[in-house]
């Protein structure tokens, strides 16, 4: 399967802990996006990469969030000192430029 | 003003009917438009893309785009219970995908 892959699918963590999620995009896609989605809401943009360059980051994203895409391949999203409000589905998507984006299955984070 | 607005619904239609989903967007320079389907607890799945004014048909789905009115719609013909899901409208403006909050559709057998 050459779709977008995210790991882990589910993560339960205690408040204050750090968590890291991984996304492997479709291999020929140069753009990679991270979104967060809570119940009843549409996906909320967090950040996006074109190849290895992080070109935009949401103003809503606190300094506890950081993302990387070394070598323009997979990407990681780290959340430091997690809070209960960070509980959400974290979605990764990739695209070949400004065309269709395809989503991974998401990582559901629960902060207890 | 939100970039993309959708009626959250819920929208209920009987099986076999046409479901009509609507979306408006705020930025006139937006060039690319998409409809995603999202089942509860799952990630969004692309079902249609449209880039130019007019209609685009794919099976039971028809996307309609009117750039002058900044309006995108999705018609689902012969609706099936398996079409019951949340439908997300997405627009590319600049380098970002903006999503609406989604319209919940229920197809009643």
Question: B37 to chain A nearest CA, in Å?
Answer: 11
When comparing pLDDT for A60 and A109, which is higher?
A109
Taking the CA atoms of A108, A111, B3 and B6 in sequence, report the sign of the dihedral they define.
positive
What lies within 8 Å, CB to CB, of A22 at 6+ separation is A6, A7, A74, A75, A76
Picking from A43, A55, A98, the nearest residue to B32 by CB comes out as A98
pLDDT at B1 over 70: no
- A108 vs B69: CA distance, rounded Å: 37
Considering only CB atoms, which chain A residues are within 8 Å of B42?
105-106
pLDDT at B78: 98
- Residue A27: both structure tokens together: 């291999």
Percent of chain B surpassing pLDDT 70 = 99
Picking from A40, A41, A48, the nearest residue to B96 by CB comes out as A48
Cis omega (within 30 of 0) for bond into A42: no
Secondary structure of A52-70 as H, E, C letters: CEEEEECCCCCCCEEEECH
pLDDT at B63: 97
Picking from A42, A56, A89, the nearest residue to B88 by CB comes out as A42
Cis omega (within 30 of 0) for bond into A8: yes
Q: Do A17 and A82 form a contact (C-beta atoms < 8 A)?
A: yes
Beta-carbon separation of B34 and A56 below 8 A: no
Provide mean pLDDT across the span B21-27. 94
Taking the CA atoms of A84, A85, A87 and A91 in sequence, report the sign of the dihedral they define.
negative
In terms of phi and psi (left: phi > 0; alpha: psi -120 to 50; beta: otherwise), the region of B105 is: beta
Residue of A nearest to B6 (CA): A42
- B60 vs B17: CA distance, rounded Å: 11
β-bridge partners, A5? A24
Q: Do B22 and B105 form a contact (C-beta atoms < 8 A)?
A: no
Beta-carbon separation of A45 and B32 below 8 A: no
What lies within 8 Å, CB to CB, of A109 at 6+ separation is A11, A12, A13, A19, A21, A79, A82, A86, A87, A88, A89, A90
Considering only CB atoms, which chain B residues are within 8 Å of A61?
none
pLDDT at A66 over 60: yes
Among A83-87, B7-11, B50-54, B83-87, the least confident range: B7-11
Nearest residue to A95 via CA among A21, A33, A53, A45: A33
Percent of chain A surpassing pLDDT 90 = 80
pLDDT at A1 over 60: no
């Amino acid at each position: 399967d050459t779709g977008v892959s995210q790991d882990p699918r589910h993560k339960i963590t205690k408040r204050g802990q750090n968590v890291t999620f991984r996304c492997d995009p479709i291999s020929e896609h140069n753009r990679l996006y991270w979104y967060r989605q809570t119940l009843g809401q549409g996906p909320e943009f967090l950040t996006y990469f074109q190849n290895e360059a992080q070109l935009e980051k949401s103003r809503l994203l606190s300094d506890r969030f950081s993302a990387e895409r070394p070598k323009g391949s997979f990407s990681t999203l780290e959340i430091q000192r997690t809070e209960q409000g960070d509980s959400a589905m974290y979605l990764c998507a990739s695209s070949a430029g400004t065309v269709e984006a395809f989503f991974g299955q998401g990582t559901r984070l629960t902060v207890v | 003003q939100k970039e993309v607005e959708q009626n959250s619904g819920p929208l209920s239609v009987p099986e076999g009917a046409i479901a009509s989903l609507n979306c408006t967007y705020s930025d006139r320079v937006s060039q690319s438009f998409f409809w995603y389907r999202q089942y509860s607890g799952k990630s969004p799945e692309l079902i249609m893309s449209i880039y130019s004014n007019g209609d685009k048909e794919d099976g039971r789905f028809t996307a309609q785009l009117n750039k002058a009115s900044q309006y995108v719609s999705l018609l689902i013909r012969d609706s099936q219970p398996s079409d019951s899901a949340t439908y997300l409208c997405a627009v590319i403006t600049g380098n970002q995908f903006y999503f609406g909050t989604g319209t919940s559709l229920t197809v009643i057998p």
